[in-house]
C-alpha cells in the first residue's frame, strides 16, 4: 500500500523522531511505499492568508473559502499546497504524527489542514437536498482511504481517562478524528497514544514500538472507529441532528458512534 | 478594566473585522483600556521551534518544554513572545476572537498559544504533592483574570446542537476553554458564537452586535463556566480522576462542571 506520513515535531532526536523512523522502516520493510511530509523540515507555511492565492481577484475582499474554491477549481493554488494534495490522492493510508500541545495538534500541522484542505477538495462538495447534505462525514474525496493518529503526550494516562481531569483522550481527539478526518471521507483507525512521553524508559519505549508495529501491520484490516455516516438515515436533513430514536444511552460525542460496534473501538492506549 | 483582544482573521473587511472594530469601540466607549494583538497584521510566527530560543544550548537536542523553561527563567525569550506575555500580565480580561476552522482555532492563533504559553508561565508551575498537583485548572499565572471566546462559524446552530452531527459546540470548545484557558487560571466566560456567518443578514448582524455588547458589559460580573478546580477536593491526587461519588449523572467533558451551577452556564448562542 501507499502510506503518507504527515509528521510535525521540531526535533529529529526526540521520541517522535524515533517513532517516525520506526514507522518508515517498518512499513518499507513490509514492502509498502512511504512518503513523509516532515512539516518542520519543509518549513511549512502555517497561516492561511491571501498570499496562498496569488492569482485571486484583489478587487474583492479576501475570503478564505471563496478564494480557496477559485484557486482549487482553476489550478492556481500554490505549489506547496498542490503537492500535498497529490500525496493525499496517492495514499491509501495517511498517518498524522504529532505531540499533543495544549490538547490538540501543533500550529504547523493545523496550518497544513487549514491550507491543504481546499474548498472543493476536502469540503464544499456534493449536492444539498432533502436526502443528502453534501459529501461529508463518511463520503468525500478521501473515501476508501484510511487515516490514523500517532500522538505523544507528557501527561499520565489516568489524567486522560474516562473521568480524568483533562477529559477522555477519545473526546479530546474527536474534533480531529471526526471533524477533520472522517468529514472528508477517511475511515479513521483508533489512535496510537503514548503517555508520560517525557520520561520514557527503554522498556516502555520497546513496548510502544511493539504496539505501534502491530497497528501498522493491521492498518488496512483493523476495524475503524464506527462513526455514523451522515447521509445514510441516522440524521435528520437538513438539521443534521441524530434521529430521536438513536443513541438513547449516550451523550456528547459518543452519540455519533454506531451502537452495535461502539464498544472496544476507541483508543487502545 | 484592561482588555486584551487576541484577533485572528486574515481579512479586515470581514464579519470578524467588523466584530473586532465593534468590540474595541464598545469597550473604549465604556471607559476601558484596550490592546489588540492582530495576529495576521503582526505576521505572527506560528511554529514553535528552536529559533524561538536564540540563546539555547545547541549542544543539547532541542526540547520544546526544557528550552522554554530555560528561556523564560533567564529572560532570553524572543521579543515577540515576551511582549505578548506582558500584555497578558496587564489584562483583566482577554478576548480570543477567531473563525472556527476545522472545529478549532486557525493555525496562527494556535501558534500564539504554543509560543506565548511558556514553561513556568502557563504550565510547569507549583508544587506536586499528595495534596496539590501543580498550579493549574483554576490556579496559575492568570488567576483573577477572565477570558472569553468570540467565535464565528459558517455552519448551522442545529449542526452544533446537543445531538448535532458536528458535536455540541460546548464540547468542541472544551479543549480550548478548559484545557487552554482554565488550565493556567483564567475564569472562562461562556463563549459568544455566531452561526451561518457566511450568510449574515443586516438583521442578524445587528442582533449579534447587541448580544456581543451585552456580554462585554457583563464581562466582569457574569458567572463564568463553573469548571471544577483541581486542588480543592474533587479529584484524586495524583491520578486526577474525578472522585467516584461526584458527577454521577454525567459523562465526558460535562463531568468537570460543578453540579449545582452547571445548568445554564454553557454557551448561550
Residue A110's CATH number: 3.40.50.360
pLDDT at B269: 39
A107/B47 CB distance under 8 A = yes
Chain B residues inside the 8 Å CB shell of A114: 101-102, 106-107
**3-class DSSP state for residue B187?**
strand
What is the per-residue pLDDT for A34? 98
Contact state of B47 with A44 under an 8 Å Cβ cutoff:
yes
B224 touches chain A (CB under 8 A): no
Is B263 within the bounds of a domain? no
ipTM: 0.95
CA A229 to chain centre: 17
Q: A133 pairs with which residues across the strands? A: A128
Q: What is the mean pLDDT of residues B3-22?
A: 97
| CB contact at 8 A, B243 and B235 | yes
Residue A54 lies in a domain: yes
What pTM was estimated for this model as a whole?
0.96
Work out whether the CA dihedral A250, A255, A259, A264 comes out positive or negative: negative
Q: Is beta strand B187-188 parallel, antiparallel or unpaired with respect to B192-194?
A: unpaired
Residue-level pLDDT at B261: 52
Which residues share a beta bridge with B4? B35, B94
Which domain does A72 fall in, by range? 2-225
SS3 B87: helix
Count of structural domains within chain A: 1
Q: How many CB atoms lie within 10 A of CB A59?
A: 5
Q: Grid coordinates representing B76? A: 532570553
| Residue in the structure block whose three cell numbers are 448562542 | B269
For the segment B138-193, what is each residue's pLDDT rounded down to a tens digit? 999 999 999 999 999 999 999 999 999 999 999 999 999 999 999 999 999 999 99
Q: Would you say residue A239 lies in a domain?
A: no
Confidence of residue A128 (pLDDT cuts 50, 70, 90): confident
Number of A:B CB contacts under 8 A? Answer: 209
**Residues B175/B149, Cβ–Cβ less than 8 Å:** no
Residues B52-71: tens digit of each pLDDT: 999 999 999 999 999 999 99
Among B46, B113, B239, select the one facing A102 at the smallest CB separation. B113
pLDDT band at B128 (very low <50, low <70, confident <90, very high): confident
Per-residue model confidence (pLDDT) at position B250 = 80
In a domain, B150, yes or no: yes
> B265 in a domain, yes or no?
no
Beta-carbon separation of A104 and B111 below 8 A: no
What is the C-alpha to C-alpha distance for residues B76 and B91, in angstroms, rounded to an integer? 23
Residue B243: is its pLDDT beyond 90? yes
Summary mean pLDDT of chain A: 94
CA distance A211 to A205: 10
Any CB–CB contact under 8 A between B102 and chain A? Answer: yes
pLDDT on residue B214:
98
Residue B262 forms part of a structural domain: no
Contact B235, B138 (CB under 8 A): no
What whole-number distance in Å separates Cα of residue B110 and Cα of residue B100? 12
A85 found inside a domain: yes
Pair A100, B179: CB distance under 8 Å: no
Banded pLDDT at B268 (limits 50, 70, 90):
very low
Amino acid at each position: 500500500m501507499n502510506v503518507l506520513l504527515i509528521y510535525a515535531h521540531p526535533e529529529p532526536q526526540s521520541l517522535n523522531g524515533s517513532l517516525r523512523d520506526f514507522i518508515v522502516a517498518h512499513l518499507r520493510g513490509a514492502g509498502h511505499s512511504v512518503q513523509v511530509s516532515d512539516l518542520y523540515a519543509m518549513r511549512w507555511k502555517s497561516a492561511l492568508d491571501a498570499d496562498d492565492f496569488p492569482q485571486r481577484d484583489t478587487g474583492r475582499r479576501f475570503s478564505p473559502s471563496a478564494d480557496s474554491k477559485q484557486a482549487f477549481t482553476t489550478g492556481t493554488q500554490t505549489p506547496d499546497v498542490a503537492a500535498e494534495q497529490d500525496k493525499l490522492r496517492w495514499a491509501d493510508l495517511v498517518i498524522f504524527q504529532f505531540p499533543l500541545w495544549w490538547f490538540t495538534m501543533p500550529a504547523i500541522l493545523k496550518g497544513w489542514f487549514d491550507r491543504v484542505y481546499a474548498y472543493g477538495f476536502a469540503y464544499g462538495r456534493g449536492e444539498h437536498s432533502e436526502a443528502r447534505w453534501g459529501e461529508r462525514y463518511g463520503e468525500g474525496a478521501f473515501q476508501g482511504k484510511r487515516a490514523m493518529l500517532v500522538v505523544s503526550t507528557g501527561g499520565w494516562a489516568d489524567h486522560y481517562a474516562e473521568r480524568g481531569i483533562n477529559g477522555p483522550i477519545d473526546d479530546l481527539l474527536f474534533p480531529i478524528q471526526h471533524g477533520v478526518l472522517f468529514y472528508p471521507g477517511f475511515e479513521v483507525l483508533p489512535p496510537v497514544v503514548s503517555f508520560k512521553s517525557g520520561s520514557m524508559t527503554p522498556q516502555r519505549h520497546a513496548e510502544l514500538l511493539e504496539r505501534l508495529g502491530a497497528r501498522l501491520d493491521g492498518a488496512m484490516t483493523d476495524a475503524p472507529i464506527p462513526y455514523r455516516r451522515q447521509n445514510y438515515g441516522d440524521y435528520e436533513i437538513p438539521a443534521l441532528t441524530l434521529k430521536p430514536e438513536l443513541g438513547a444511552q449516550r451523550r456528547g460525542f459518543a452519540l455519533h458512534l454506531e451502537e452495535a460496534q461502539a464498544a472496544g473501538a476507541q483508543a487502545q492506549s
